[in-house]
Structure 1
Amino acid sequence: MRYFNYIDGQWKEPTSGEYRENLSPHDGDNLGEFPSSAAVDLNDAVEAAKRSFPAWRKLSFQQRASYLQKTADLLKKNMQEIGQDLIKEEGKPLAEGMGEVNRAISILEYYAAEARQPFGEVIPSVNADTFLYTTRAPLGPVGLITPWNFPIAIPVWKLAPALIYGNTVVIKPADLTPKSVYHVMKAFDEAGLPAGVVNCVFGKGSVIGEGMVENPDIKAISFTGSNQVGIQIQNKATANGKKVQLEMGGKNPLIVLSDADVDKAVEIAVGGAFKSTGQKCTATSRIIVEEGIYEAFRDRLVLRTKELKVGDPLNADTFVGPAVSKAQWAGVMEMIKTGKEEATLLCGGEIPLEEELVNGFYVKPTVFENVSPDARIAREEIFGPVTALFKVKNYEEGVRMANDTEYGLSAAICTNDLTLAQRFIDDIEVGLIHVNSETAGSEPQVPFGGCKSSSTGSREQGKTAIEFYTQVKTVYMDRM
């Protein structure tokens, strides 16, 4: 089946006439053909967003919110179909795939509710006759470039705030997971969203993404993806006077102190490292364990990792699904090969031999130890089911090691010591902090983002999203 771009309220074939197969990472099954669009398709989408902006921004917050709520209701109605398609095209296990659709619904409902929240503030003036206050204005058409690892949640957490605050949108979904965003576009269409308010153009980043960055009618770019691409976008977009928001990589540490419950800490480590096949920017890449419990923790972690079910993501008992693509799988296997040369392999690192998995991009969850802090697997983001163990003498050494990275997205600590937990919050150089929970996991009502090379620009999600998608106006109103 062929799917089309969504431009100006219509489903349109790409002018190139070219399409790309959307293949399942589990068995190579063809899930549909999606456009390989050209620059002219993007320009049509931008023009539609530009035309629709004046009328959309003039709607009340409650009117805009009604479309978000209707879209959420339609996603909820079709959740089983959408979740199954997400799982088939991304490889995320059943519970996580369905959970992600639920998360997208929650995000839309959250921003629909923002229509009834305060907007701007009144500030006392030095002049008794002056009414001094701030308000906010939308930017105009904004460009969204979204990744494959959260193919419905991340597009929605960009779309929902952009729309509720009065912007119009052109979105370029990831090539590897287009069908999830197709379902979102279909829901907006069925919700009756005015033509041109949301436009979706499928295609290569080198054509559609770059075109967004260069188009003068796109006023801002929000991007989630690799550091290499993100920095290129930032340099070009800022040179063209656009606002830029980047969410990029992570090399996230979990510190386990000697007073922690070992069994609970192991479950936290396993979840953070191996859920979603480790394909999260917030995944646990480094596990830093205090020496007093290192051996007990290591042995329990290896045993638990070997128990994890690798298999078809549609099976309820699967814990680790396939990598999203052959290229992604090959990159993970290359890093595992490097790890075997740099460190000691404790478990995993192999291709499963089950007959039903031979056509998929599978690898067994992998744990290394005796890893040098300068090793590639200690410093580079792997984006797969691979984690590394480190032994440290105490809390101080653990935090120094945790902070010794170019990234600063997420970090966690396992401890029953409240004082050290509070110190950790102050000492760790990240944007997302977890105490006695996984490094991965974020709720839609709070800000999401990191520091260092992990993020630039204002935070995503929660009330903070307003900072990126609007500009402040300060008003002095005096009596005549």
Structure 2
Amino acid sequence: MPVSKQNYVNGEWVSSDTGETFDVKNPANPSETVAKYQQSSRDDAADAVAASVAAQDEWANTPGPERGRILHQAGTTLAGRKDELTTILVEEEGKARPEAAGEVQRAIDIFHYFAGKASDLGGTVKGASGRDTTLYTRKEPVGVAALITPWNYPIAIPAWKLAPALAAGNSAVIKPASAAPGVVLAITEALDEAGLPDGVFNVVTGPGSSVGNEFITSEGTDVVSFTGSGQVGEMVYDQATDAGKRVQTEMGGKNPTLVTDSADPAKAAEIVATGGFGTTGQSCTACSRAVVHEDVYDEFVDELVDAAEAIDIGPGLDHEMGPQVSANELESTLEYIDIARDEGATVAAGGGKPTGEAVETGHFVEPTVLTDVDNDDTIACEEVFGPVVAVIKVSDFDEGLHVANDVEYGLSASVVTDDHTEAKQFIDKAEAGVVKVNEKTTGLELHVPFGGFKRSSSETWREQGDEGLEFYTIEKTVYDNY
């Protein structure tokens, strides 16, 4: 019998006033219900906001080192439950165990990182024009943070939003993605055990149309942080800014890897395969376009096809690549492959659902390589949240750079080259918030800023590192005359 999970409001585990729940299914075995969660209402969300508002002043006045101690203890508690949380993540979201374990470790590291940062928050002393005056700045929390997080990194992304918000002295409410909310509730349990005061952090599961909308538009919330699709993110941005809130949105990507004629095709294919097929392609930074010089194109394609066909597909607990998270995501991926075929692309590898005992049930799709793709084809322009790499042939570096930039997104981009001049030109001219040389488009350090250009981001505030803290603080200038 699946366990029914509750919301967490004002330090207590409570059921929704709707009396309704929703099921989370195992994407590797959709007949298996992993857990039941609250199908919450707008009133449930309003109660959570009210609790955060009531708790905010006390938390803001808690010394930074004490806030940091609680965050550090929460991270340590998560570390003690790492194997359990890895299994929850695999069973709800579907990714392979090594990937899930890495993501859980990322969340642990984030809590420990921002635990230290909580002690460093302060301001700067400046020289005053007049005598007998101390002139300085101080950083203060903005207020109540509304966090709306996606299913594809269901513990890492909530951690990198929540930890800096709490470190800076904000209270917070969160609506985790309905496809995989279990690990957010585990974070909540860890914070509760660590002694986080009641009301400082509240979790409500349910639809974005009720819970998310209330968090975004409520007079009680002051900042909104959203990660998800471009269409929804743009609506969130409009709603939040119309309500006068500080907002950051991180959205989609159509991330290129440019392979130059000086690159080793085998090494380049390995980089693209890791970035394109890892996490079943369900990452906003996944490589979905390989822009390849004509001199190495054929050899690169052969190597990439070999890499795709060698991937072991099946349930994430014991296979290399797990399923897509839902039937809708699988259907969308297969539809994009069909559109690519119709527009003239060649399916060089994959292109459908795999066969075999391990994949008889579940939302599995083959790692897919598409060749003969033109830069204006649908598959080269629109985000495909699945393990699909479109290979585009170019005649020189300048054409490759143009193709890499010629999309409405600008999240992550990489170049594979042995030419230092080309690498430097790519760094200078790539229209992306994250640029990598001889490395996959996926993978982020936790202490440097993350965010995109163009339609990938609101381009307002960055996440992670010191910049992540900046979003959750506001600066006050003080003239102290004595």
Query: What aligned pairs does 1:166-245 form with structure 2 within 5 A after superposition?
Result: 166-245=169-248
Q: Could you tell me which amino acid in structure 2 is paired with residue 278 of structure 1?
A: G
Number of aligned residue pairs: 477
SS at match of 2:342: helix
Deviations 1:129-181 (A, max 9, x none): 43222111111111000000000000010000000000000000001001111
User: Cα offset for 1:125?
Assistant: 3.0
Q: Percent identity?
A: 44
Partner letter of residue 135 of structure 2? L
Distance across 2 between alignment mates of 1:382 and 1:352:
18
1:269 aligns with 2:272: yes
The aligned amino acid for 1:459 is: R
State the 1:126 CA deviation: 3.1
Q: Distance in 2 between matches of 1:139 and 1:367?
A: 46
Aligned to 1:290: 293
Q: In structure 1, what is the Cα distance between the partners aligned to 2:76 and 2:255?
A: 35
Instruction: Give the counterpart letter for 1:115 in structure 2.
Output: A
Residue 468 of structure 1 corresponds to which residue in structure 2?
A: 471
Counterparts of 2:427 and 2:177, CA distance in 1: 34
Q: 1:256 aligns with which of 234, 254, 259?
A: 259
Give matches, 1:25-104, under 5 Å: 25-28=27-30, 29-104=32-107
Taking structure 2 as the reference length, the TM-score comes to 0.97
Aligned pairs (5 A) from 1:311-390? 311-315=314-318, 318-342=319-343, 343-390=345-392
1:214-248 Cα offsets, whole Å, 9 max, x none, are 21001111000011111111111111111111000
**Aligned residue number for residue 154 of structure 1:** 157
Aligned to 1:124: 127
What amino acid is aligned across from residue 151 of structure 2 in structure 1?
A: W
Residue 134 of structure 1 aligns with which residue?
A: 137
Query: Offset at 1:118?
Result: 5.4
Report SS of the residue matched to 2:24.
strand
Whichever residue aligns with residue 245 of structure 2, its letter is K
Q: CA deviation at 1:128?
A: 4.5
Structure 2: segments with no counterpart, 5+ residues: none
Q: Could you tell me whether the CA contact under 8 Å between 2:145 and 2:172 is conserved in 1? A: yes
Per-residue deviation, 1:283: 0.3
Distance (Å, rounded) in 2 between the aligned partners of 1:185 and 1:296: 49
* Cα distance in 2 between the residues matched to 1:444 and 1:382: 25
Query: Cα deviation per residue 1:103-126 (whole Å; 9 max; x = unaligned)?
Result: 000000000011233522222333
Aligned-residue RMSD, C-alpha: 1.0
1:190 counterpart letter in structure 2: E
Shift of 1:358: 2.0
SS of the residue aligned with 1:434?
strand
Correspondence for 1:19: 21
Displacement, 1:98?
0.3
Identify the range of structure 1 (353-362 vs 40-49) with the bigger mean alpha-carbon deviation: 353-362
Q: Which amino acid aligns with 1:173?
A: P
Describe the SS at the equivalent of 1:455.
Answer: coil
Output the CA distance in 1 between the equivalents of 2:89 and 2:455. 29
SS at match of 1:328: helix
Aligned residue in 1 for 2:395 = 393
Contact 2:313 2:359 in 1 (8 A): no
SS at match of 1:292: coil
Q: Distance in 2 between matches of 1:426 and 1:476?
A: 41
Q: Deviations over 1:236-293 (max 9, x none)?
A: 1111111111000000000111111222211100000000000000000100111111
